[in-house]
Each structure stands twice: as C-alpha cells, then as structure tokens.
Structure 1
Amino acid sequence: MAVTTSPTRPRVLAIAEAANPEWVSVPLVGWSLASALREVADVHIVTQVRNRDAFLRAGLTEGRDFTAIDSEAIARPLWALAERLRMGEGKGWTMVQTINAIAYPWFERLVWQRFGPGIRAGKWDVVHRITPLSPTISSSLAGHCAKAGVPFVLGPLNGGVPWPQGFDAERRQEKEWLSYLRSVYKLLPGRGATLRHAAAVLVGSRHTEGEIPARHRPKTIYLPENGIDPSRFNRVAAPEPGVLRACFVGRLVPYKGPDMLLDAAAPLLRVGRLRLEVIGDGPMRADLEAQAARAGTGAAVTFHGWKAHHEVQDIMARCHLLSFPSIREFGGGVVLEAMALGVVPLVVDYAGPGELVAPGTGLKVPCGRREGIVRDMGAALAALAVDPSGLPAMAAAARARVQDKFTWQRKAAQVAEVYDWLRRDPSGPAPKVF
C-alpha cells in the first residue's frame, strides 16, 4: 500500500467507518475531517465498503489514499434489524446506536487484521479513530495501539445529550425508549479500557467532556465536531429590507420543535410582521401545515420541503434569522451553516447549538419547559421585529467566528496541534486547540 510521506508531517491512519461526501450528518463529518487532515498530515483513510464508490467519485485512489473494509457480513443484517426495531424512519436513534455498538467491533477486528502489522512496525505515527462519534462505542484498536507504542486518538466524541424535563411526550414520539437506559454504557468494561489506552480524547461537547471519568480528563481536548466547507456555504445573506424574515432548517420531527416555533411566531405572522421559511420535511409536516392554517398564519409561512444544498442556502440567504428551537441537538451543524452565511441564529441554549452561539454572534433562549421556550422565543422575535438594528453586527460576528474556528481547514489545523503534542511530549499538558 503506497503512502506519500514527508519528514515533518505526521503519518496518520485515520479510521472513519462512517465517512461519505454524498451523505449528511455523521458520514459527512467523518469524510470532511478525514479529508481536511490530508492537508496537514500524510493520511490514509480506512472506511467501510459502503463508502467506496463515493470515495472514488471524489477522486481518491483506493490503496493509496484509502482502504475500504468489507464488514457487510455482520453490518448488513444488523443494520436491517436496527431499521425494523427503530419503528419509523428517522426515529429510535438510540436503538440504531445500540445495534451499531454490536456491529462495529467486527469492523475494527478486520481493520487490525489488515493494518496491525504496519502499526506494530511503526509505519504510522498516529492512529486516529474519527467515527463513530458516539461515546458509547468502545475501541479494541486503542489497546492494540497502546501495546505497539503508537498514540491512539479518539474522537471527536459527542452524543447522548439528556432529554430536557417536560419533553417526555416528544421522547416517546421519537421512539427513544432505550434512551432511559443509555447511561448503562458507562459500566461496560470496553469503555474503561478504551479511555485508558487512548493517548488523547477529543470531546465534541461540554456534556460529553463531563461524562469522561476524572482520571482521564487531563488527556481530553474540547473540539466541536462540526465544521463548514466554504465552497458549499459561499453566499452572504442579503435579506430584503422591511419585514423580518426567519427560517427553520431540519427534519420536521418533535425534538427539533417546529411546532413550538409556529406557536412562538404566530402573533407576528398573523399581522404580517414576520415571514417564516420552513425548509425540510418529515412526519410532522401535515400537522404543522394544519397548525399554521388554524392559527391564521398560513399566508406568512412557506413549507419548502426538502431542497438541494444550493437551494437551501439560497433560501437561507434571504433571511435575517435561523429560528431553531431544537431541544436535543448534539452538534447543530445547521447553526454553523447559518452563521457562515451571516444568518443570525436564534436557538435554545442547550447542547450543541448553545455552545456554538457565542455572545454577540446570535441569540439564545433558556431551555425550560415547552411553554417557557415558546414564550421566550416569541419575545425575542417580537423584539427583533420592533428593532432589527442589531442584526447586521451579529451577522458579521457570526461569519467571523465560523471563519476563525469552524472551517474544516481550521479543524484540521486544530487536530494537527494534538498530533504535534503526542509526537513531541505527551507527558505535558494537553493543548487547548479551540
């Protein structure tokens, strides 16, 4: 297997079981980070065979740039089982992660069979498992690498944000029965061994950082997992003067709160002081359209359904605000996308979105019960409808924050600081890269 090397750049074996430039969510994160790391290190990506064709279409050469591991004998039937057990498309995420935790060890076993001899021989300076992002899935590679004397980097890990109080109905609608038992993963022996053997653990949220046992905290490094490709989000928002325009982008499912947004915005929508663009689709769409009609706001709300990427940013760029009342968002990539365009985010201050929106770059309402979120988001919208003069400064600050911290190029540079630390003196304090 050919690997292009440099005397100064680290040689990195990047494990990204989920990595695909043509998909969204975790696979896109895996692809984006692994690809960006090729600019700062000599990287060979190891992924699952289902991603092979997309890698080839993206211009990578199999054998030189990446290896596709065929774990389908185990992965395919277990994935089919997960799809049956989740009881609805887009539901039962905890169930899917549980099944993935059963299937994934076989993938790592095949990776070790293929690359173990090279790792033991010192062919790689660092082994970095980028995906899975879930902190519930352990890694046998961590122990193998520790025995071989090769630093193993885990993460960015993120997930498992608790459901806020008062949203049990939404939790049941999402078929999240297993989420009540999720914390059991902390008792599994593989988790302790993985954290013990890892040389560095990248944590994508403060919640995940807080779940790492104290004895392992010195080697944890905070680094939100989401990033922006400037070539994909390359517009600058230019909303027309006059009425306040807001958008919602995402699946129309209970935990993202589109029904709360319609309730919060209803007084402004009815009198023509707000326009709302709803981009996305899902099981709630018919009910949301009926809700808007009952409230007398239908003329001021446009339900666009699913849109291609370029159409999404075209619609967003006509808006002042991303109004996004999600109450259980691990990463919040859509918040970064809005900020990159100069669309000011208005979010619930919880989990991913709450961490991404720094002071002066957007607005946050407290995460409480449903009625409190509706009240506070409605008040924020009403204040902006009266006086939107602060929005341009926030939009500019949001764009600057993304450029400074959240492009994939910047992410790669942040991870490269971790690699340099491990190669130079891992006994010293872990770097603060964010």
Structure 2
Amino acid sequence: MADSTTTETDDAPRVLIVSEHASVRFGGEAILPWHYFRFLRRRGVEAWLVVHSRTRDELIGLLPGEADRMHFLPDTALNKRAYQIGRRLPGRISHFTVAYASRLSTQRAARATARRLIAEHRINVVHQPILVSPREPSLLYGLEVPVVMGPMNGNMTYPPAFAKRVDAAVLRLSRRATNFVNRLSPGKLQAAALLVANERTRQALPAGARGEVITLIENGVDLEIWSPPEDRAPRDGPTRFIFLGRLVDWKAVDLLLEAFARVQTNPPPVLEILGNGPMRASLEEQVGRLGLQDRVRFSGWQTQVECARRLREADALVLPSLYECGGAVVLEAMACGLPVVATAWGGPTDYLDDSCGILVPPDSREALIAGIAEGMSRLAADPELRARLGRAGRQRVEHEFNWETKIDDMLGIYRRVIAARASQATPLADSPPPSR
C-alpha cells in the first residue's frame, strides 16, 4: 500500500472520496469510488473514503491496512423505511421519491463527516464520483475546499424505434424538476469542476452550474483483473459468445436470443448468459420456445474474478442494450482481448469502433436483431477477424481506458482546482503588480 515517506508539498492533493456506496461485489457505478480510493493510495496519495456502512465488511476485507482511512455512514431508520417502501413501488417512481429521500439523508450525514475530516486531515479537495447522473442533486457544498464531481454519464433516451419501452411522461416530468431541485441542493451549482463522459451528459447539467466542465470517460479497467489469456490460438469446437449484465428489459437479451437463433454456422455456436434479474424466467422460457436449450446456458451472478475468467474462455461479447449510459463490460471484454458486438447507442459508442468491434444501429426491432445476427455470424465464421478485433480492443484499453491513466488524469484535475482555489484566496496585497 501507500508509502508513508512520500514527499508532500503544499499543493499536493489530500483527497476525500465521498460516495453513497462503494462495492466491488455489486460492480456497476459502485466500483468507481473504490477504484479511486485504492489507486490513489497505491500511488502514495493522501486519501480518505466516506461511504455507507452497508459494505463495511467487504471494503475492510479488501484493504485491511487502510481501514483507518475509511469512514462509514450508518444505516438510519429513514434509510431502512425508504428501502421497505421502495420495494413495493415501480422502479422509476421509487428512485425519484423514497429512494431520493434516502439518498439525501445519506448525503447530509456525508457532508457532516466530510467537514470533520477536512479539518482533522487538512484535506484540500473533495471528490464525489457518484451518483453519475448529471441531474442528480448534491449536498456537498460549503466545505471550504474545492469539490470535484463525476465523471457523470447520463441524459440517455431510448432509440426512437424502442421508445415505447420507457414511460416517457415520467421521464419528462423528472427532467423538468431537476433545475429546481438542484437550486435547493446546490452542490453541483457550486462545484469547482464537473466531469462529464460525453456531450449528451454535458447538455444535461443543471442550469447555473459555474464550475469548469471537463470531459473524462466515466469507466476504466483494472488490467490486473481483466486480461487476455496467455494463448488465444484458434481452437476446435463451437464459437463461444457471452453476455454479462442484469437481466432487465433495457438490456434487450430477448432480442439477443432472437438474433442468436438465426446464426447458422457449423458447428453451431453457444451462448453463455452471466447475470440475474427479473427477466430470467421469461428468457429461459424463450430459450425453450426457440429450441436453444442445448446451446444457451444461464450462469447467474458471478464475481468479477470469475467473470474475467469466463471472458478469457469466450470468443466474443454481445451487448444488445438499448439504454446503456456507460457499458463498462464492453471495456472489460476488450481488455480480455475479445471483439464486441453491441448496439450503436449510448455508452458503447464511446468505446467501440470498427477497429475493435461491430456496432449495430437500432433503427428498428427487426434491424437490430438482423444486425446482431449478422455480426455474430461474421465472428463465428472468421477466427482471424475475431483475433484482429480482439488485439485492437486490448491495445485501445491499455492506451485510453486503464485505471492508471485515469488516475493520472484525476491527479491533474485535483491539482488544477486546488491551485485555482489558492489563487482566489490570495490577498490583493500579495498579488504581483500589473505589467507596464
């Protein structure tokens, strides 16, 4: 871990990572604050973490030597009651009502803890990596040090041909309310820097935000976990496709199964589906109707290490998602040397091009199914194409999306906002005289 003898200067970042949750087990956006904290400590940067207590045992187990730098927010009566009520409500309604109240309660506790730690440890920059939604309000303001938020990634819509999959009225109402709510909880309006993954996210920032807006990709890859096999030589047997993700409507696994049924190669390919969710039962029934029982396997939820192992054993990843803001699994597959077939919509378009994958426009339901089937057929029939795309994807991840590069970028941003705050605090008498 960090070297206690690391030389420190007056402008060296002393970073407080504040997040509602952090977890390797749950993955998704929850893993982002954890990676910031552990990679900063590995570099010898003075850093602390404030996070909800629900993952205390997991995080301390991962880095027991850093336990004194982790501060956990207790599960309150409001958090517990909100969770109980939210389970009975539709997902979007829960997110914007009782779950929102729970998040605000946690953020109030986090702000109080942050103020105490800033004073105790001379912290000079606070970083709130999540929630990644650009419209989600923040209570991290008035902390006397610059606050960095993000990278955020959002402002997603469904492709026009699939818009019926979302309650558009609820979506419009929630978006109209965000500017008002961000005035009540003005953390984003007062932040020193707002990090956005792409232009569509930039356009969704609340009106009146005065911090510097910086483009930085949301996701990164831990190359120690996600790596290619030592030997990916062509092998006999069926082509092995894999899907990783939650089994929910917007992941469009039902369309993937329709496409997979059309892939006619010899020998027939196989498909492994990693993940759980409310659609699993209906998807298993669909597999039966399509007569794919011998070629499709549902493997349920797996740890990151196990997912990485199974990616190394696969030949290609398929991600047909219709509402994917980030798509970290695309980067993880690329890091494992796999080509990717994905919907040309949202997050995957930030990572993929025709040098390392196949993007399928979601022009209609039939066009997406046909395009995915064609992409899978091309890869199944051409081992050399798979190898070439896989190598290019790995190289791209190494150069642009690995966590070491991401930490370099973040340290530069921390120093930038620290220097800007110091210049604002400099008394006029200490300022250099104007040139003549």
> Are residue 184 (structure 1) and residue 176 (structure 2) matched?
yes
Separation (CA, whole Å) in 2 of partners of 1:258 and 1:325: 7
Change beyond 3 A, Cα 1:214–1:306? closer
Report deviation, 1:65: 0.9
Number of residue-to-residue matches in the alignment: 414
Which amino acid is 2:220 matched to?
G
C-alpha deviations, 1:331-389, integer Å up to 9, x for none? 21211111111111110011112212144121101122211211211222233344443
Q: Distance in 1 between matches of 2:304 and 2:99?
A: 28
- Comparing 111-120 with 200-209, greater Cα deviation is found at 111-120
Q: Which amino acid aligns with 1:14?
A: I
Does residue 101 (structure 1) correspond to residue 100 (structure 2)? The answer is: yes
Q: Report the alpha carbon displacement of residue 225 of structure 1 after superposing the two structures with TM.
A: 2.1
- Please give the alpha-carbon distance, in whole angstroms, between the structure 2 residues aligned to 1:217 and 1:380: 44
CA distance in 1, matches of 2:33, 2:49: 10
Q: Report if aligned partners of 2:331, 2:351 keep a CA contact under 8 Å in 1.
A: yes
Determine the structure 2 residue equivalent to 1:432. Answer: none
Letter in 2 for 1:64: D
Name the structure 1 match of 2:186: 193
**2:41 corresponds to:** 38
Aligned pairs (5 A) from 1:85-124: 85-86=89-90, 92=91, 95-96=94-95, 98-116=97-115, 119=118, 123-124=122-123
Letter in 2 for 1:7: E
Identity, % of aligned pairs?
Answer: 29
- SS for the counterpart of 1:299 is coil
Structure 2 distance, partners of 1:338, 1:159, is 22
1:390 to 2:385 alignment: yes
Q: Which residue in the other structure is 2:24 paired with?
A: 21
1:413 aligned to which of 402, 408, 411:
408
Q: Which residue of 1 aligns with 2:57?
A: 53
> How many Å apart are 1:125 and its aligned residue?
1.4
After superposition, the C-alpha distances for 1:371-420 in whole angstroms (9 at most, x for unaligned) are: 12112112222333444432212111111222222232322221111112
Which whole-Å CA distance do the structure 1 matches of 2:137 and 2:362 have between them?
A: 31
Q: Is the 8 A contact 1:11 1:43 kept in 2?
A: yes
1:431 maps to none
Aligned pairs for 1:81-230 (under 5 A) are 81-86=85-90, 92=91, 95-96=94-95, 98-116=97-115, 119=118, 123-142=122-141, 144-145=142-143, 148=144, 150-168=145-163, 170-171=165-166, 178-190=170-182, 193-212=186-205, 216=209, 219-230=212-223
Q: Secondary structure at the match of 1:140?
A: coil
State the alpha-carbon separation in 2 of the partners of residues 262 and 275 from structure 1.
11
C-alpha distance in structure 1 between counterparts of 2:172 and 2:350, whole Å: 24
Q: 1:206 to 1:304 in 2, by over 3 A?
A: same
Q: Counterparts of 2:181 and 2:96 in 1: how far apart (Å)?
A: 18
Number of the residue aligned with 1:336: 331
**Cα root mean square deviation, aligned:** 3.1
Distance in structure 2 (CA, Å) of the matches to 1:335 and 1:367? 17
Q: What whole-Å deviation, never above 9, does each CA across 1:114-141 have from its counterpart, x for those lacking one?
A: 3425647992211111222233332232
Structure 2 residue aligned with 1:73: 77
- Checking the alignment, whether the CA contact within 8 Å between 1:14 and 1:129 is kept in structure 2 is yes
Residues 1:207 and 1:217: Cα distance change in structure 2 (over 3 Å) = farther
TM-score by length of 2: 0.84
1:212-252 CA distances to partner (integer Å, 9 max, x unpaired)?
A: 26875871122222222233223427362454331112222
Aligned to 2:315: 320
CA deviation after TM superposition for structure 1 residue 316, in Å: 2.3
Q: Distance in 1 between matches of 2:210 and 2:394?
A: 32
SS of the equivalent of 1:315 reads helix
Measure, in 1, the Cα distance between the counterparts of 2:305 and 2:116.
45
Displacement of 1:322? 0.5
Gaps in structure 2 of 5+ consecutive residues: 424-436
Give the TM-score of the pair, scaled to structure 1.
Answer: 0.84
Find the aligned partners of 2:248 and 2:236 in 1 and give their Cα distance: 32
Deviations 1:74-110 (A, max 9, x none): 2221122222213xxxxx2563354333223333333
User: Equivalent residues in 2 for 1:230-249 (5 A)?
Assistant: 230-236=223-229, 238=232, 240-241=235-236, 243-249=238-244
